[in-house]
Amino acid sequence: MTDTEILQILVFALTILLAIPILGEYMARVYEDRALCRLGRVQQWEGWFYSFLGTSADREMGAREYLTALLAFNLLGAILLFFILRLQYFLPFNPERMTGVPFWLAVNTTVSFVTNTNWQAYSGETTLSYFSQLAGLCVQNFLSAGTGMAVMVAFARGWKRQQTESVGNFWVDLTRSVVLILLPLSFLLAVLLVGQGVVQTFQGYVHVSTLEGSQQILPMGPAASQIAIKQLGSNGGGFFGANSAHPFENPTPFSNFLQMFSILLIPAALPYTFGRLVGSRRQGLSILAAMALILIMGMGIGLWAEHQGNPTLGGLPFWEGKEARFGISGSVLWGVVTTAVSNGSVNAMHSSFSPIMGLVTTTNMILGEVVFGGVGAGLYGMLMFVVLTVFIAGLMVGRTPEYLGKKIETGEIKLAVIAVLVPSAFILVGAMIACMTEAGLSGLSAPGPHGLMEIIYAFSSAGQNNGSAFAGLNSTTPFYHILLSLGMILGRYAVIIPVLLMTGSLARKKITPPSSGTFPTDSGLFVLLLVGFVWIVGGLTFFPMLSLGSIAEHLLMSRGSLF
């Protein structure tokens, strides 16, 4: 690594650390209805909107009503998006006259964007109109991210409140997440990206003559506005097929830095917000420390692996699939961050990473997307591990299993286990089905352990709502459309439903003051226990599968074999 690459990583880390308390405090004020921007006009507009929905900012919901509103809203959004994709030929802002999206691809894309996965089995510049990109995908980028943030804040209320049925109002939490957090940040980022040369236009595609005299079509479109929310909302879906490796999406080193920063910004600030909402910053910071520790471990392993060079090529660096303008370290940094944050955007092709770096990116996902994870989703996913860690550690040392003054009982443990294991079970079962069927194997682009990793990566990306691809598997078949759509649904709602049911259970409990028998959950020891528990669960679940994939490929590469 060069001094410049080291400096880039240090500046990135320092910038994130400086932004965490600022944005974290602001988001806490938004959800406490004390934001500085709560001006009269905003409050008036908000009141009108709630009246239209038949609710008000003061009306509270129970956990089940909150869940019902969330599921109904997501279902309505999915239906609307599906018809936009199918009927895009007849809709406006379609200068290239794109035809309707095929049925199973429309189903897959709809599920993908509603669940905040943004898995893309298509290339945007050849498949979607500007209307579909903006009114369909971009809108869902805001709403799916806002949904995750709403669940997070409701969960925080479950820990904070006692002996009550109310956990907030879904419509209020969603509206404030989108209007007061995501929209302002997205507007600012979009302006900065346009200043760096990211395209933002409704002009049709441009036909140009190259220096060789041949003709080339340059795709255009309102990309900057969608890229801003795709990064800030942990969405990741690219406007163009090459995603953030495309020069029209990510033209400069500074745009690259801005996008990486925005990927990690909100997920890293939310643990601080959680600490503020539950009345203990130390609790939020302990979760933040656990997430950061796992991220740093993955970053270190990935940088080491990529800079070792390929022994079968005389130790030459792993440059395949990378943009020279971003460099190896810049590509590794993005790859680790995007898979840790459940973002899914890429500035390098993950299939071309070294086997160990491919193992790192896959592991980030199969751990449950709790290493920061998606906005809101990563935090409440990590809190499921917190519940399990507190319960098991408390039993091991004879301490009372409590967290934030709430006793952890059988009901909470069952819900946490469901949230942790259902997405993992889908990855294992889905990969097994793909490996045993002709339809699954026909999509492979490589044999041996690398081909296995293509399948594992796809099902991990879908089941944990990441959305990035290994860039080798042909997933444009009904087999993968249907199976991966099922995984995206399970990965999203098999976690949200247990979280909100647990929220209702916690809100009804009394808060017990800590005593000498209470296991402390804001110490360095607990951080290490939490990190260890996350690794143990992931290792026990997936190590046999990964040993046949990336680990075997690494060992074979050292003996001169490539796949």
Residue 379 lies in a domain: no
* E strand segments, 387-521: 402-403, 406-407
Ranges of residues in the chain whose predicted pLDDT is under 50: none
| CA distance linking residue 486 with residue 480, whole number of Å | 10
User: Per the structure, how many domains does the chain have?
Assistant: 1
pTM for the model stands at 0.93
Residue 10 lies in a domain: no
In one-letter notation, the amino acid at residue 318 is F
Among 381, 471, 483, 510, smallest CA distance to 120 is for 471
Task: Summarize pLDDT for 239-280 with one digit per residue, the tens.
Answer: 998 899 999 999 999 999 999 999 999 999 999 999 999 999
Task: Summarize pLDDT for 100-153 with one digit per residue, the tens.
Answer: 999 999 999 999 999 999 999 999 899 999 999 999 999 999 999 999 999 999
Whole-number pLDDT of residue 210: 85
Q: Which residues contact 172 (CB under 8 A, 6 or more apart)?
A: 50, 55, 57
Give the pair of three-digit tokens for residue 43. 């409050």
Q: Which residues contact 3 (CB under 8 A, 6 or more apart)?
A: none
Residue 466 lies in a domain: no
Residue 185 lies in a domain: yes
Residue 101 lies in a domain: yes
Q: Which residues contact 469 (CB under 8 A, 6 or more apart)?
A: 119, 120, 346, 350, 457, 458, 461, 475
Range of the domain at 76: 41-251
Residue 333 lies in a domain: no
Whole-number pLDDT of residue 557: 86
Cβ atoms of 507 and 490 within 8 Å: the answer is no
Residue 206 lies in a domain: yes
DSSP string, 294-357: HHHHHHHHHHHHHHH-BGGGTTB---TTB-TTTHHHHHHHHHHHHHHTT----SB-GGGS-HHH
Residue 5 lies in a domain: no
